[in-house]
């Protein structure tokens, strides 16, 4: 059974085909610059590569280009569209309506549309992807996998803000959290790697990339997460500010910055980029820091400090922590940053093994000392596989199988 996984953005379309239940990726592709000049589609299937440059004025043309690539006689992945048994869509925001993945019907698409006001940059594109897939792949069941769903188990004490309750009741302002599919995936792998049961395991999962978030997981359920009403809250990120005093916004408004200026600054010009003045790429900042650039050094120290602060808070709230997981682009590949983060957490029972940290590199494995009460793991995330697993489970009514090794 083949599952097509789709991640549809405003100007891009990512896709991957999985053979289930074997959890084998058969190939993947990317359609980029939708609605812009210089459109391109590239696809990889084993050693076979497919690439074509063409104008892609809209998502319908993008989906048609994807279908042609999938069926290409020389480099295609499928011999017939009928081989696709189900389609899984990444959808950013499910609001508080959905705490798990669901088969898409009219009610689901209506809910995604309602939640466009909460995720105006993502949900409209996700919804377009669903509509175009329905038109191209007629009659094939589709599943929505929400980034926010995993965090719907948060208690009111974790998701409510200290503002008048009417803002929650009237405007739905609360902590939603994001990266839920990634946190759920790596938590499952971590439990499997350590041969533990989710019911008696507490984890802190650190998804660190250009976007970054940390989640506290108790008995398989998200109980707190760093991103909030939007992905801007929480950790300092590649270009996002993360937590800051809200009065800073009012202060800057009084000095002539308008709403659009501030939105752009906090989302696209802050974080590692803003503090270092160099780049949002950790590798560039680490290289500058090694040459003595003080702004780069302070950016790295601030990034690690903010992460440690969240880990400490979650350790306190969970009382007992068994595993900490590093994932995402920085979490997986940032060997020096993992060391920097863990270097002051020994008093919490978090002891990194410097040699193991280097040896593991970007692979899955344990990087903590044998005597560390809390095990530290590196686990590459795979949100596409998690979407395929959810889709397979829902369209076959089979319980989700244990994820195969990373």
Catalytic site positions: 147
The secondary element (H helix, E strand) that includes residue 326 is strand 323-327
- Helices 383-396 and 180-193: crossing angle in degrees, nearest 10, is 90
Among 280, 338, 335, 276, which Cα is nearest to 304's?
Answer: 338
Q: Is 328 helix (H, G, I), strand (E, B) or coil?
A: helix
Among 265, 268, 267, 339, which Cα is nearest to 301's?
Answer: 339
Do strands 142-146 and 102-103 pair parallel, antiparallel, or not at all (unpaired)? Answer: antiparallel
For the residues of 79-142, what is the DSSP string, one character each?
S-GGGEEEEEEEES--TTT-SS-EE--HHHHHHHHHGGGTSTTTHHHHHHHHHHHHHHSTT--E
Q: How many CB atoms lie within 10 A of CB 102?
A: 21
Q: How many CB atoms lie within 10 A of CB 162?
A: 4
Among 172, 179, 177, 171, which Cα is nearest to 158's?
Answer: 177
CA atoms within 13 A on the CB side of 112: 29
- Residues in CB range of 179: below 8 A, 6 or more apart: 147, 207, 211, 213, 215, 225, 227
Phi, psi of 234 (to 5 degrees): 105, -130
Give the C-alpha separation, 209 to 31, whole Å: 22
The secondary element (H helix, E strand) that includes residue 69 is helix 59-70
Report DSSP state, residue 262. Answer: H
Helices (H), 279-373: 282-290, 294-318, 328-333, 335-342, 354-360
């Amino acid at each position: 059974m083949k599952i097509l996984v789709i991640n549809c953005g405003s100007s891009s379309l990512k896709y991957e085909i999985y053979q289930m239940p074997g959890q084998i990726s058969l190939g993947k592709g990317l359609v980029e610059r939708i609605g812009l000049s210089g459109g391109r589609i590239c696809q990889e299937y084993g050693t076979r590569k497919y690439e074509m440059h063409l104008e892609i004025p809209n998502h319908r043309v993008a989906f048609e280009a994807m279908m042609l690539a999938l069926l290409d006689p020389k480099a295609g992945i499928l011999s017939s569209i009928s081989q696709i048994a189900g389609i899984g869509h990444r959808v950013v925001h499910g609001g508080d309506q959905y705490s798990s993945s669901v088969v898409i019907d009219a009610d689901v698409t209506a809910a995604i549309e309602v939640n466009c006001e909460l995720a105006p940059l993502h949900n409209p594109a996700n919804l377009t992807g669903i509509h175009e897939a329905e038109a191209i792949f007629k009659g094939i069941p589709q599943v929505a996998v929400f980034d926010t769903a995993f965090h719907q188990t948060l208690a009111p004490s974790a998701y409510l803000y200290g503002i008048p309750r009417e803002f929650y009741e009237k405007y739905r302002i609360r902590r939603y959290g994001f990266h839920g599919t990634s946190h759920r995936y790596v938590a499952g792998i971590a439990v499997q790697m350590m041969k533990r049961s989710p019911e008696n395991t507490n984890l802190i999962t650190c998804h660190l990339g250009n976007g970054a978030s940390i989640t506290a997981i108790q008995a398989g359920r998200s109980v707190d997460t760093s991103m909030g009403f939007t992905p801007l809250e929480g950790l300092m990120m590649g270009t996002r500010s993360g937590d800051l005093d809200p009065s800073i916004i009012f202060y800057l408004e009084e000095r002539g910055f308008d709403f659009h200026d501030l939105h752009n600054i906090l989302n696209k010009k802050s974080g590692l980029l803003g503090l270092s003045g160099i780049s949002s790429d950790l590798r560039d900042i680490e290289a500058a820091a090694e040459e003595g650039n003080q702004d780069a050094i302070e950016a790295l120290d601030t990034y690690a400090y903010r992460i440690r602060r969240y880990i400490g808070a979650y350790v306190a709230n969970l009382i007992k922590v068994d595993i900490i997981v590093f994932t995402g682009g920085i979490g997986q590949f940032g060997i020096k940053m993992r060391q920097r983060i863990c270097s002051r957490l020994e008093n919490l029972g978090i002891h990194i093994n410097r040699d193991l940290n280097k040896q593991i590199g970007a692979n899955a494995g344990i990087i903590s000392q044998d005597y560390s009460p809390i095990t530290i793991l590196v686990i590459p995330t795979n949100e596409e596989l998690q979407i395929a697993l959810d889709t397979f489970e829902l369209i076959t009514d089979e319980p989700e199988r244990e994820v195969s090794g990373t």
